[in-house]
Amino acid sequence: RALEVDLETALPRHEFDLDFQPIMNIGSGGIVGAEALMRWHSPTRGTVAPDNFIPVAEETGLIVPLGEWALRKACVAAASWPSLRIAVNVSAVQLKSGGFPRSVISALAFSGVPASRLELEITETVLMDESETVLKTLRQLRGLGIRIALDDFGTGYSSLGYLRRFPVDKIKIDRSFIRDIGNRDTAAIVRTVIGLGAELGITVTAEGVETEMQFDFLRANGCVEAQGYLIGVPSKAADIQRLLKSRA
Ligand code: G
Ligand code: G
Ligand code: G
Ligand code: MN
Ligand code: NA
């Protein structure tokens, strides 16, 4: 059976779940946030990774209700983590569908999480079509106090132009750069992006931090936040709560 057929019934059948990956402030060593990552537990396919079903959900439009579900679920989980920021990935299809700001406001109101604790992760491809709708929507969300993060930074096109035109609060350096940080040129690029963020007043988060060596490089060069297996793997909401308690 086609993936999109199974996907269509997966939401009413409660087959989706969210994992949460902790995000550390490098300076303080404290956990300051968590990113919600969607999982599909299909009874016939097993656990399907988002890379394999998000594109299909985008094509079929299912990403709109699915994204609304994720937003609400993530905010409800975050409500029991005092002061942690919650990061939720948002696809271009969601941003372009009218009503996205309304569903965000609804998720915040339902969970009681203040807008200042919500961060929406978008990719450069969201910004590529330069539509007025997207720009207007991002401004509206930011006006509510929500933060916008540019995800997978460095892998798209013309990243620097977007930083001038679009309201962005955070850059997430793609994990491919962190993986190759031992390479002299890659290290120079990462240092430069960290400096760029500092100059522009944009928080820089390094993704895919797996080793002490990578972490030490990022700390030595003033990167603000780190995310990756070294800090914590994507985990259940309850495990994030345990992690916070054990560190408190
Ligand atoms: O957890 P994993 O590495 O498999 O996630 C792969 C990618 O899937 C993430 O980088 C993210 O961009 C995307 N993804 C995960 N959860 C969501 C979600 O809830 N909505 C959208 N649009 N994308 C997601
Ligand atoms: O939003 P984004 O597409 O960047 O999602 C992050 C993805 O990266 C998730 O699917 C998560 O499972 C994965 N991930 C998180 N930390 C690490 C890491 O340290 N190394 C690797 N290889 N992948 C990671
Ligand atoms: O000691 P603590 O419980 O804060 O460390 C938990 C995790 O946080 C470590 O395993 C590591 O991933 C990360 N961490 C915190 N501080 C540092 C640091 O100064 N250096 C490195 N390499 N990792 C750190
Ligand atoms: Mn992300
Ligand atoms: Na990313």
Do 120 and 148 form a contact (C-beta atoms < 8 A)?
yes
172 is a domain residue: yes
Cα gap 16→66, rounded to integer Å: 9
The string of pLDDT tens digits covering residues 44-95 is 999 999 999 999 999 999 999 999 999 999 999 999 998 899 999 999 999 9
The tokens of 103 are what?
Answer: 């569903």
Using CA positions, which residue lies closest to atom 23 of ligand 1?
89
Mean pLDDT of 135-162: 88
Cα gap 217→154, rounded to integer Å: 18
Using CA positions, which residue lies closest to atom 9 of ligand 2?
37
Cα gap 212→244, rounded to integer Å: 21
- Ligand 1: does its nearest atom lie under 6 Å from the Cβ of 91? yes
- Ligand 2: does its nearest atom lie under 6 Å from the Cβ of 210? yes
83 is a domain residue: yes
Cα gap 208→206, rounded to integer Å: 7
Q: In percent, how much of the chain has pLDDT > 90?
A: 83
Can you give the pLDDT at residue 246? Answer: 86
Q: In percent, how much of the chain has pLDDT > 70?
A: 98
Cα gap 45→16, rounded to integer Å: 13
> Could you tell me which residues are beta bridge partners of residue 149?
121, 170
Is residue 166 over pLDDT 90? no
- Ligand 1: does its nearest atom lie under 6 Å from the Cβ of 227? no
80 is a domain residue: yes
The string of pLDDT tens digits covering residues 226-244 is 999 999 999 999 999 888 8
For residue 89, the CA-to-ligand 4 centroid distance in Å is 5
List CB-based neighbours of ion ligand 5 within 5 Å. 151-152
The string of pLDDT tens digits covering residues 191-216 is 999 999 999 999 999 999 999 999 99
Can you give the pLDDT at residue 50? Answer: 96
Ligand nearest to the CA of 91: 1
21 is a domain residue: yes
Q: Is the dihedral of CA 207, 95, 91, 109 positive or negative?
A: positive
Q: Would you say the ipTM is above 0.95?
A: no
Using CA positions, which residue lies closest to atom 3 of ligand 3?
247
Look up the CATH number of the domain holding residue 159: 3.20.20.450
Closest CA relative to residue 233, chosen from 21, 17, 85: 21
- Ligand 3: does its nearest atom lie under 6 Å from the Cβ of 231? yes
Q: Where are the extended beta strands (E) located within the chain? A: 16-25, 31-42, 46-48, 85-89, 118-123, 147-153, 170-173, 203-206, 225-227
The boundaries of the domain holding residue 222 are 3-240
88 is a domain residue: yes
How many independent structural domains does the chain possess?
A: 1
Cα gap 28→30, rounded to integer Å: 5
246 is a domain residue: no
Angle 59-62-63 from CA coordinates, rounded to 5°: 85
216 is a domain residue: yes
Closest CA relative to residue 37, chosen from 121, 148, 131: 121
In terms of phi and psi (left: phi > 0; alpha: psi -120 to 50; beta: otherwise), the region of 158 is left
Q: Which atom of ligand 1 is nearest to the CA of 90?
A: 22
Is residue 159 over pLDDT 80? no
248 is a domain residue: no
Can you give the pLDDT at residue 133? Answer: 84
Query: Which amino acid does the sequence have at 230?
Result: L
The string of pLDDT tens digits covering residues 130-146 is 678 888 999 999 999 99
For residue 103, how many other CB atoms are within 10 A of its CB?
18
- Ligand 3: does its nearest atom lie under 6 Å from the Cβ of 135? no
Cα gap 57→139, rounded to integer Å: 26
- Ligand 3: does its nearest atom lie under 6 Å from the Cβ of 212? yes
Higher pLDDT, 61 or 129: 61
For residue 172, the CA-to-ligand 5 centroid distance in Å is 6
Q: Which atom of ligand 2 is nearest to the CA of 174?
A: 4
Cα gap 184→97, rounded to integer Å: 43
Is residue 129 over pLDDT 90? no
Confidence band for 158, pLDDT divided at 50, 70 and 90: low
Mean pLDDT of 210-226: 98
Can you give the pLDDT at residue 244? Answer: 87
